[in-house]
Structure 1
Amino acid sequence: MTDRATLALSSVMLVAAALWVIAYLLTSDGDGVVVLALLAPAVLGAAGVAGRWGRRHTVWLPAVVPAAAALVVLLATGGLDSATGAFIAIGVLLWTPWLAGRWLRARAALGQAGWQAAARWEDQAREAEDDARRRERDRLAARMHDLVGHDLARAALTLGGLELDTALPAPAQRAVARARQQVSTAAEHLAEAVTAIDATPTATPTGAELDDLVTDLRADGSDVALVPADPSPLLDGTDPAIAALLVRVVREGLTNAVKHGGDGPIEVSFARWPAQIVVVVRSHGANQHPAPGSGHGLAALRRDVDEIGGALEHGRSHDDYLLAVRLPVHHPAPAGPTQVDHAHRLALGDVRRSRTTAVRGTAAVIAVSILLVVAYRAADVATSVLPTDTFTALALGDTRTAVADALPLRTRTDATGIPAPAGSWCEHYSSSPDLLSADLYRLCWVDGHLTSKDLLRRPAADPGTIGT
């Protein structure tokens, strides 16, 4: 929290404490417990909020304010007992919630640190899993390299025998067929090896790599067109992983076109939009009976394309064979929250619900308590009102039994602080049904006879005086 917010919280706490002290000065000698009770929650709440969200250096407030309050009360009233009471009361009202707020602050910091540690552990586990996957792919790539080398060696031997047989009889034609199948198998293994290596490129591939793929096929006699002729501008601004996957798509498409296509031309075309890039490899006049293959290359390519939110389609279109791939320009963010994030949200939801329940329950208890106090006060006043005419008609010497029917059902329960005359006992009655009126009628009896009747006027700052 900023220093400005801390200052605001401290100011609110000081104002609440000052109001309580002022109320204490005004009501310390009278019946003012209700006012102090109403201000106490404000002091408690302000101190708790300041302790929970304020800076640590605000600890001087609950330490200094009680002493200052006691000094103010001492100077204003001159009573040491009143100053001591103010010191104890304001100290409890400030220190207790402030310490509770500091505890809640430390508890929240500990919980946040735990969630952060869990998130770090989850990231480390994910990185370890990725490292293990890369090592396994490297191992598979090395194994595939050995297989490719073996298959290519066999193809070289077969093609070598074909070169020595200039007459090309039937056995030589069968050897050519076997050579084509072996070369196709080697190409499949090569595609699997390239797919197995999932290293993230350090630099964005350029159009030169695509041009090299096309140039190599042209050198072998294939008719390959690149549209546009220089696709480098289309790769600008793309993530390195996306550009590398794009090169893989073109390589896989050209490999399939050579293996499964006929003698028709091959066209590689690109299209770029702000958020995506599309590449289409079209084999014109595709072979109706293509060479057999495992299909692992396209399957692995589809998995990688789907993983980043792209789309891959391939198949025949009349006499042509198409491989079309749509890729996002930027690598998408991980979909969905992590397990730690999900657990954190669930925990926060439980905390919010429990806090709401606590606040509502506390508010309900306070509201019910206030209603009960008001209801009791109203019932106490309403059932103890002594009409003025009845009070005036009472004469000294009347017996309690003779006037019992004229008196209210019950007497007032609150004390006045005025001692009864010696040897008598007194009853107090409300002088008015007004809830805000504190004036009372007092009837004093000795041996069942009325010996005195008084009107007790009770202003806010005076426990009571006898009036007429």
Structure 2
Amino acid sequence: MGGAVRSREVVRRRLGDLLLWATTAAPIAYALVTPPHAGPATARLAGALLLLAVAVAVSRRWPVVALVGVVLGSLLDGNFLFAIPVFSYLTGRRSATARPAAVAFAALAAGGTALNLGLLGTGAATWFLLASVLLFAGVFPWLVGRYRRQQAALTEAGRRHAEARERERRGTAERVRLRERARIAQEMHDSLGHDLSLIALRAAALEVADDLAPRHRAAAGELRASVAAATERLHGIIGVLREPDGAATTRPADESVTELVDGAREAGMAVRLDGVDALAQLPPMAAHAAHRVVREALTNAARYAPGAPVSVVLAANGDRIDVAVVNAAPPAGPLPGPPSTGSGLLALAERVRLAGGVLTTGHQDGGGFAVRARLPAAARAGADALPSGGGDSGPASGRWPAGGWSAGEADEAGEADGPGFPVAPGAGADASDGEAPGERPGEAERRLRDARRRVRLSLLTALGAPAGLALVLSLVYYPVATAGTVLDDGAFARMPVGAQRAELTGLPRRQSAPPAGTARPGCEHYTDGNFPLAQPTWRLCFVEGRLVSKERIDG
């Protein structure tokens, strides 16, 4: 499968390179099919196409080399100008760092300046035109490519940050579930160990009874020894799950829901209790889970909805018992304190699941909050023992018992966005999907921050660098173009037609290049110093050294 995917990727890249070559070669190849078909020209164009093919072939591995090759190819064929923006963009998109391309552009600018102004002797206007082409056809597309690369890096960093946050959330949920299972193990250790101790005590009493037959006394001794051994194994297996710094609860172990509600009323809460007799049908673990549901819901209502009335309803529904604790909207808002992580409700969801039920939590339309649990009325196999993590239902498998409710009203952040109390993050969700460990949230957040900073910098550079470079070019070109060629308006107005050239005052010592296609014999051109191009403004025409016409050049 992996080989097939790689093969498709290679084919896709080859087709992309072929399309790139065909697109950029079209302006160059056009000359091959249009007359005249001179031999040297054909050979030169064929060499240009070959150079372009080489540039395309190396553009993925060495994009700067490909760009330099295309720019140099413009000396061979001017139609390479159409390929420069494309390869400049790809250089920005494919280069990991900006330094090689920046050095290449600087070298091209310096080499082009030396070639045109030094060796070829072209004018300042031609140099300015070529420098502008390099700026807007080379540097600007490269900056756009850099921005697109940084934007893609930002998207990838955001994805990795979200994955790290999701792993952290799942890890937190799993830790809460494990703590709840350990708490259940502690309760089993205390209650079952107590019962086993009583059995051993009664067996010991039988063992020393005078009216018991010797064989029965021996059997009682074996029973006592077996119970003692079982108690020790219980201490060894479940006792290790005790949290060494866990505080002992101050609530009585046999506290009923009625006593729990009475305690809340004594604390000042307005609580209505209905259907408490339904709890008599529940097996011990489910009854304890129902007690925990009511206790956790009342605790949260007292904190997040102080002063709001609370209703506790227990109702038999076939082979299920429904437990619902609903509080109204708080009249004065929640009590001050640190924000909740929702771990209490998450632990409660695990407790209910282990009892064979389903927990759901959510906001009410009127602004209140509801905690509902559906528990089995009859004990299921293994419900009163600590289940393993590989069961067929619950969060570990993504399936709930038949007819159960799904926890669908929890928000992603695990916090309530209105009055009530928070929803446990990931309640009823898979705690581990077998993913390999990835980045920690702190590292992913740092990468995301750096990617955002690079994108902002790339955007500012893409927008500001062309304008700044254009201004620099203008500041370099303008003094060169206007040196000794500026004729001001007053001097032009004072020049009389018919005067000898030597008699004219204010005539500059150097002429400007005439506009393309407007050169006339005996005419001289000067500029008024317009910025930044210093274009010719005045035309003075002489015949035998005498001024015969003067005019202003429009545009």
**Band the TM-score falls in, shorter-chain normalisation:** 0.3 to 0.5
- Bigger fraction of residues in helix: 1
Radius of gyration: which is bigger? 1
- TM-score after normalising by structure 2: 0.33
- TM-score after normalising by structure 1: 0.38
Give the structure, 1 or 2, with the largest relative contact order (CA under 8 Å, sep 6 or more). 2
